[in-house]
């Protein structure tokens, strides 16, 4: 298992409950792959520095997850299939 930081931007035209459901589904998917969510920081709706997918703002969520490196591609693919997510950034977290 390795620690990763998963940063997602969710479409701003959704309400808070729908954004929370997307975050919960992401956490459940990580758990089905044998991983765990260590931290979840829902930063709320923020203005973007530049337009992404035609949107100038979005709901930002930063999660620290612990998952097998071989499952990262599955998580990325699953997130790309969700039309409500406009941007995903997946980075390996340094072990301290």
The CATH number for 37's domain is: 3.30.70.60
89, 20 contact by CB (below 8 A):
no
**Residue 30 neighbours by CB distance under 10 Å:** 22
pLDDT per position as a tens digit, 64-90: 999 999 999 999 999 999 999 999 999
pLDDT at 1: 87
Of the pLDDT bands very low, low, confident and very high (cuts 50, 70, 90), residue 95 is low
Determine the structural domain holding residue 12 and report its residue range.
2-92
Read off the pLDDT of each residue in 36-56 and give the average, rounded to a whole number.
Answer: 94
* Distance (Å, whole) CA 40 – CA 46: 17
HSE (side-chain half, CA atoms, 13 Å) at 27? 16
**pLDDT reading at 96 higher than 80:** no
Read off the pLDDT of each residue in 48-64 and give the average, rounded to a whole number.
Answer: 94
CA angle 13, 15, 16 (to 5 degrees): 135
Total domains in the fold of the chain? 1
């Amino acid at each position: 298992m390795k620690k990763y930081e998963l940063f997602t931007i969710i479409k701003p035209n959704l309400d808070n409950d729908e954004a929370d459901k997307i975050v919960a589904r992401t956490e459940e998917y990580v758990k089905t792959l044998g991983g765990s969510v260590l931290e979840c920081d829902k930063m709320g709706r923020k203005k973007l520095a530049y337009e992404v997918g035609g949107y100038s703002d979005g709901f930002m969520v930063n999660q620290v997850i612990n998952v097998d490196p071989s499952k990262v591609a599955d998580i990325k693919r699953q997130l790309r299939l969700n039309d409500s997510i406009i941007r995903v950034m997946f980075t390996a977290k340094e072990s301290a």
